[in-house]
Amino acid sequence: MASSNTFFTISVRYIETRIYVGSQKWRKTVVSLLMARRPIVDLAHGAIIEYRVQRNALVRQVHEGQKMVEDLCDAHFNLIRAAKGVGRLMGELCPVCSKEELRQVVYVFGDKLSASGVCPISKADLRRLERRELPVTCYAVEVCVGCKFNHLLRKWHAGGQVEQRPKVAK
């Protein structure tokens, strides 16, 4: 059935499941290419939970006047600072102000990490944190530094994989 190099991604944006089979180099999508431009986290255990449906519904409510802009544009100053410092440009304009390009900030939480989480600076740092022996939970947040819009993009679990050594008979 599912080998160690097969994983599932659940996207609530398109209400679908994508299954990737094969090595990272020769990975192929068995179901749907709708999210091909979205980054896939290679070291996730199980599902990567996407929050796009919730985000799109909230943005639609703002545009229809059911919610105030301030309800969505309330990013904490530390999140804005992280977005300016280490945030990765997403190539997509803010859905609220349409002026600034959104930035993605990743936070990693787990045992023996800072209580406020770790914000990896590079992909190599993120990979290192995901390969820890202790499990971690990772959160990717999209942020607009102009209007302070922010929303959780995705959440995944990683780490906790201890390599099993064969027992030697005495």
144-169 pLDDT tens trace: 999 999 999 999 988 876 555 556 66
Q: Is residue 141 part of a domain?
A: yes
Query: What pLDDT was estimated at residue 123?
Result: 87
* pTM of the shown model: 0.67
- How confident is the model over 104-150, as pLDDT tens digits? 999 999 888 888 888 888 888 888 888 888 888 999 999 999 999 99
Q: Is residue 143 part of a domain?
A: yes
28 contacts 20 by C-beta, under 8 angstroms: yes
Query: What pLDDT was estimated at residue 36?
Result: 36
| Residue pointed to by tokens 């100053």 | 77
Structure tokens at 145: 């530094």
CA distance 83 to 153: 14
Torsion of CA 109, 111, 113, 119, to 10 degrees: -20
Q: Is residue 121 part of a domain?
A: yes
Q: Is residue 126 part of a domain?
A: yes
Structural domains in the chain (count): 1
Q: Is residue 1 part of a domain?
A: no
Q: Which domain holds residue 68?
A: 7-159
Q: Is residue 170 part of a domain?
A: no
For 55, the 3-state DSSP assignment is helix
Residue 103 falls in which region: left (phi positive, over 0), alpha (psi -120 to 50) or beta: beta
CA distance 143 to 62: 17
Q: Is residue 2 part of a domain?
A: no
Q: Is residue 169 part of a domain?
A: no
